[in-house]
Amino acid sequence: MKLITAVIKPFRLDEVRNALAEVGVQGMTVTEVKGFGRQRGHTELYRGAEYVVDFLPKVKIELALTDDLVERVIETIIGSAKTGKVGDGKIFVTDLDQVYRIRTGEAGDQAI
């Protein structure tokens, strides 16, 4: 089992969610976050004054998946979140040792 964490641009969330539903993803956790990567934010002009935006708004998607879905989900996220511009985001893949469903007590793949 794997935990996929994707940090993407907020306006791409609906496209990513719809594309993931088409490949069989049944659930996800979405969090509004702020951060920066190599671009280190950017400068904006507001009422004639320049100021630096250090942390850019992003959306973090977390998915717990069985191993057979991982590659397809990664390709789907990349295909639906990519704009070709700086700041498109990142995908992190982490091993999951165990997953439990609280309601039923199921464990492992059955809990996902």
**How do the pLDDT tens digits run along the chain, 112 residues long?**
999 999 999 999 999 999 999 999 989 999 999 988 776 666 666 677 776 777 889 999 999 999 999 999 999 999 999 999 888 999 999 999 999 999 999 999 999 8
Q: Which amino acid is at 23?
A: V
Whether 96 contacts 2, CB under 8 Å = yes
Based on the structure, what is the number of domains in the chain?
1
Buried b (16+ CB within 10 A) or exposed e, 24-45: ebeebeeeeeeeeeeeeeeeee
Tell me the residue range of the domain where 86 lies: 2-111
Give the pair of three-digit tokens for residue 4: 């996929």
CATH (domain of 10): 3.30.70.120
Distance CA(20)–CA(68), nearest Å, equals 14
